[in-house]
Amino acid sequence: MNSGWRDGALRQRHFLAACELDVAALKPGNVRVGTPAHGMHADDFVRSAHACAGALSQRGASVGQRVLAAIRCTQRVVQCNTNLGIVLLAAPLFCAAETGGDLRTSLARQLAGLDRRDAALVYEAIRLARPGGMGTSVRHDLSAEPQVTLLEAMREAQDRDSIARQYARGYGDVFDLGLSQWHDALARFENESWAATWLYLVYLSTWRDSLIERKFGTATAQTVSERARELHSQLASYSDLDDFKARLLSWDHELRSAGLNPGTSADLTVATVFAAKLTRAV
């Protein structure tokens, strides 16, 4: 069977759509079209997505193989870490979609099968990408041969990192919270960009952003989450979106001026939109 959600080209299109929405939507603190931040431009993210989509959809490849190949492809077109989190979250979804059946069930099988070879390949990808603050959140030596499977490593890190938590808990945040919030927001706003803003605020207000916490500490990450919670609550009852956009832009300026990038919340948003598009294509 080579049609519907199992078609590689279709999966790539869904992935690229999610990545392009990531920089089209207003997500305070993040890079977006026309607004560079943290030394990066929106085009860096779009080029990265197009560069790595083929590697992520390579039929028959393991999660680790896809992650490392995707980061290598990315580094051919950009000189910064634009997408390690997105790649880590997307690779198991690509694998699961390739096998067919219920996406969440297939994903659980993929995660359960992760081994030390996957860990070695992902560790190499992390070394290549050089993500900010990662040295403070990974207990296992990334320069050594892994002594645990990738799933075991993610389980060990799950309390400190939201991406690791998805591996450890079967993407529970995506399937149990993110997808319903995404669909509700689409119905509310009838606009994917505003739905992405809503979803981003949901993630940022529910969990401290891992990237901010690694780089700036728990107190700063908690303050950012509390402000996101306030804005999300306001957005739920706001009728004038143009007026509310000014509030978001003001906070966006504050975050970028302070060098605060809720990057993990953005990664979770991309993964959720991608998963939603995969499940819709069944």
206 and 107 belong to one structural domain: no
If one counts the domains in the chain, the total is: 2
In this prediction, the residues of the chain whose per-residue pLDDT falls under 70 are 1-6, 132-143, 281-282
- The alpha carbon of residue 53 and the mean position of all alpha carbons in its chain are separated, in whole angstroms, by 14
User: Residue 165: its pLDDT value, please?
Assistant: 99
Residue with tokens 């509700």: 184
Q: What is the pLDDT of residue 130?
A: 87
Q: 168 and 185 in one domain? A: no
Instruction: Find where tokens 């994917």 sit.
Output: 192
pLDDT tens digits, 172-206: 999 999 999 999 999 999 999 999 999 999 999 99
- pLDDT of 2: 39
Say if residue 154 is in the same domain as residue 27: yes
0.85 cut: is pTM over it? yes
What pLDDT score was predicted for residue 98? Answer: 95
Query: Looking up tokens 């948003």, which residue turns up?
Result: 269
Considering the chain, what percentage of its residues have pLDDT values greater than 70? 93
pLDDT for 160 equals 95
Q: Does 11 lie in the same domain as 30?
A: yes
Our CA dihedral for 266, 270, 271, 275, rounded to 10 degrees, sits at: 150
Say if CB 151 and CB 112 are below 8 A apart.
yes
Residue 9 confidence (pLDDT): 94
Per-residue pLDDT tens digits for 66-100: 999 999 999 999 999 999 999 999 999 999 999 98
User: Is residue 37 domain-shared with residue 156, that is, in the same domain?
Assistant: yes
Report yes or no: 76 and 51 within 8 Å, Cβ to Cβ. yes
Is residue 22 within 8 Å of residue 44, measured between CB atoms? Answer: no
Cα separation, 126 vs 241, in Å, equals: 39
Same domain, 16 and 147: yes
Residues 185 and 164 in one domain: no
3-state secondary structure of 61: coil
User: How confident is the model at residue 7, as a pLDDT?
Assistant: 87
Nearest to 71 by CA among 50, 52, 43, 96: 52
Based on the fold, state whether residues 36 and 135 are members of the same structural domain. Answer: yes
d(CA 117, CA 62): 9
What single DSSP character describes residue 32?
B
* Same domain? 206 vs 75: no
Instruction: Kindly state whether residues 155 and 212 are assigned to the same domain.
Output: no
- Taken in order 19, 25, 31, 32, is the CA torsion positive or negative? positive
User: In the prediction, which pLDDT does 100 show?
Assistant: 87
The answer to whether the beta carbons of residues 76 and 46 sit under 8 Å apart is no
pLDDT of residue 169: 98
Question: Domain check: are 197 and 166 in the same one?
Answer: no
Q: Residue 42 is part of a domain; what is its CATH number?
A: 1.10.4200
What is the Cα–Cα distance from 125 to 141, expressed in whole angstroms?
Answer: 14
Domain identity same for 118 and 253: no
Task: Determine the structural domain holding residue 229 and report its residue range.
Answer: 177-264
